[in-house]
Structure 1
Amino acid sequence: MQTKRPAAVALAGALCLAATACGASSSPTAEAAADVSAPGYPVTLENCGRTTTYTEAPGRVVVMNGASVAEVSSLLALGLGDRIVANAQSYGRSEVPGRAASIEKLPTGGIELNDAYDVPREAVLGLDPDLVMSTTSYGFDAQNGFATRDDLEAVGSHTYVSPQGCDQDTSRMTIDDSHRLLRDLGKIFNVGDRAEKLIAASRRRIDDVSAKVKGEEKPDVMVVFSHMSMGGNDFSSIAAHGIWNDVLARAGGRNAFSSASESAFADLSKEKVAAEQVDALVVISYNDPDPEAYARKLLKEFPQWPAAKNRRSLVLSDSIYLGPSNDLAVEKIAELLHPDVFRRDGAGRNG
């Protein structure tokens, strides 16, 4: 099965909204507006060239699809799932126990998604949101049938585009952007302490893994979305640049296809894929019912790869992409690439 990914996926997470928040000419003064702010507010954020001022925590959040789970997973990790009135994001699985089920239980607002598998303009406006989140600015592009940031501002809704999503080019994304997303949400919802604890814990785990694999040989890894068609060649969903490269580096590996494209994804023929040395295979599952079968198929298709000879493959979903759980991807990939290191470490602890 070939899954056509929405254009937003070239992976691919604001404004002064209500007149009272800005001290507009027909509203109370800025000083009066400040008087009605909730404790911990006002909070001001710069986001994709816009300045947004929040006078209270959003209570009606719409999460656009964007072929991501970064935003919805971050909200859940911060304990903010009850603020969501419509969520369009899902990967169907997660490295975090219970997360996929939690996402499945979230309200969808009864929305019929458009041809880009996302929330169309009239539907999002009809939900009366006070915050709409999108992984990239694609989710606010009128040409694709979405409500613009200006449209939403006009009805009193804040908007937020996740880090590195302003120009729809996710090739520069790193783990720090996942942490920035958490930190921004911590500010918006006045849960900064929760956000900082999650960030600190993630960094500790990542630093611990990186220290263990420091000095080890760096295997070449292929990262590819399962059953995903995004171009004209046989292999059009190979990750070339983006957050996965940072994850691989922290895990003691490197992307075998980083030189194949300057953008986030490489679109390659079977012959070019076969010519690369692939020491390990990481398949990213995006709503695929059996990504493990896809991994086995690739290893059988390219028996010359060291990955095939050593049966070295791994299936991941949300942890390798923008979101709150990159530490899990770093740990799992490091264990795949450097099993001896972790066997020694386990023996040392047991001893």
Structure 2
Amino acid sequence: MPMNRPAAAALAATLCLLTAACGSPPADQAGENGDHGADGTRTEAADAAGRTGYPVTLENCGQKQTFEKAPSRVVVMNGASVAEVSTLLALGLGDRIVANQQSYGRSEVPGRAAAIKALPTGDIKLNEAYDIPREAMLGLRPDLVLSVSRYGFDEKNGFATRDQLKQVGANSYISPQGCDDDPARMTVADSYRLLRDMGRIFDVGDRAEKLIAASEKKIAAVSDKVKAKAEGNGKMAGTPRGRKPPQVMVLFSNMAMGGNDFSSVVSKGIVNDILAKAGGANAFESASRTTFADLSKEKVAATDVDALVVIGYNDPNPAAYAKKLLKEFPQWPAAENNTYVTLSDSMYLGPSNDLAVRKVAEMLHPDAL
């Protein structure tokens, strides 16, 4: 069934977890090896990996946030994300969370969905955006509030502002690429930036670097195998190396966010980086300048789709939705070969993108892995 309008609006407005730009230079210009991250975050004083000791100062989306010690009362806002809560759990920081509003109900990581469900929620009466209003937030007495984007600190929407939080001794943090509402440029590197920033804030930089290194190694192994197989096939067939990669449709299951039949098709963002690393490409990348393409059934039917990635957002059976689509469009190569995979949090900003790369690559190039 379609997502109800308030939830869909919140998802569409704050899906910076997929791709949102902060008006900052790309990661290859000022990213992992420099003083500035892709989200405009800068760490002052000892920016080296695995740094220890306080104070730690971050410049995050135009505001300096100084941490005298590791936060112990963390509030995680909804924002239609699980990136922030999953990152904290991956770093072993779940015991610092006093209220969490993030949940997809599913995860590629065994035990993660249950671990998120077990976290305290703060017993908050949420607003229409399914998030924490100002007075309730201040009543939680946080020392750190995490938001996917600026939206979570917008006074016009009834949220506590960053200045108001600072007045009561709480720092705030906007996740990578969440400074502006231009969901188009996020990559896997932003997931690593979130890990690194949380590592610095909580003085667990060594844990963050180990997670990043492991993810990079796994993704590189998959990408190298897919590339080697593709080059080998090209040589044997006498075709050039630059053959068109499999065209993949990525969309949310049973969700309506626009006026057309297919309004939850992902066009831009971190999913495209994941697809590329897995040896595929987004079949609808040119269909929109923003994260989502709002498409007619005719447009979808006229596009060659080699494979489906169906993202389950609190949907208990996304596979049923995938099978329904394949039946509806029998002309697709994906339908002829029954080629689909269902995923959840690994397709988003967060600590588990390597799982999505592997699962998509296994679907697209099973003989390479």
TM-score after normalising by structure 2? 0.84
Question: 5 Å matches for 1:15-34?
Answer: none
Counterpart for residue 349 of structure 1: none
Which residue matches 2:147? 134
User: One-letter code of the match for 1:196?
Assistant: E
Report 1:56-95 matches (<5 A): 56-95=69-108
Give the whole-Å Cα distance in 1 for the aligned partners of 2:11 and 2:316: 22
Cα distance in 1 for residues equivalent to 2:204 and 2:133: 30
The residue aligned with 1:250 is 277
Moved beyond 2 Å, runs of 4+: 6-10
| Matched position secondary structure for 1:151 | helix
User: Do 1:8 and 1:136's aligned partners in 2 also have CA atoms closer than 8 Å?
Assistant: no
Pairing 1:133-152 to 2, within 5 Å after superposition? 133-152=146-165
Q: Residue 173 of structure 1 corresponds to which residue in structure 2? A: 186
Cα offsets for 1:72-128 (capped at 9, x unmatched) = 000000000000000000010100000000000000000121111111111111100
Partners in 2 of 1:245 and 1:255 — Cα distance?
Answer: 6
Alignment of 1:168-317 (within 5 A): 168-214=181-227, 216=230, 217=243, 218-317=245-344
Q: Name structure 1 gaps, 5 residues minimum.
A: 14-38, 343-351
- Please say if residues 263 and 293 of structure 2, whose CA atoms lie closer than 8 Å, have aligned partners that are also in contact: yes
Q: CA shift at 1:8, angstroms?
A: 4.8
Q: RMSD across aligned C-alpha pairs, in angstroms? A: 1.1
SS at match of 1:184: helix
Of 7, 10, 32, which aligns to 2:10? 7
SS at match of 2:265: strand
State the distance in 2 between where 1:42 and 1:286 align.
38
AA aligned to 2:212 is: I
1:7 and 1:264, CA in 2 relative to 1: closer, same or farther beyond 3 A?
same
SS at match of 2:331: coil
Q: What SS does the corresponding residue of 1:322 show, helix, strand or coil?
A: coil
Give SS of 1:228's match.
coil
Other structure's SS at 1:106 match = coil
Letter in 2 for 1:3: M
Question: When the two structures are superposed, what TM-score results if normalisation uses the length of structure 1?
Answer: 0.88
Structure 2: unaligned runs, 5 residues or longer: 18-51, 231-242
User: Taking CA–CA contacts closer than 8 Å with sequence separation of 6 or more, which of the two structures ends up with the larger relative contact order?
Assistant: 2
Decide whether the 8 Å contact of 1:281 with 1:307 is kept in 2: yes
Percent sequence identity over aligned pairs: 70
How far apart in 2 are the matches of 1:334 and 1:300? Answer: 23
Please say if residues 10 and 130 of structure 2, whose CA atoms lie closer than 8 Å, have aligned partners that are also in contact. Answer: no
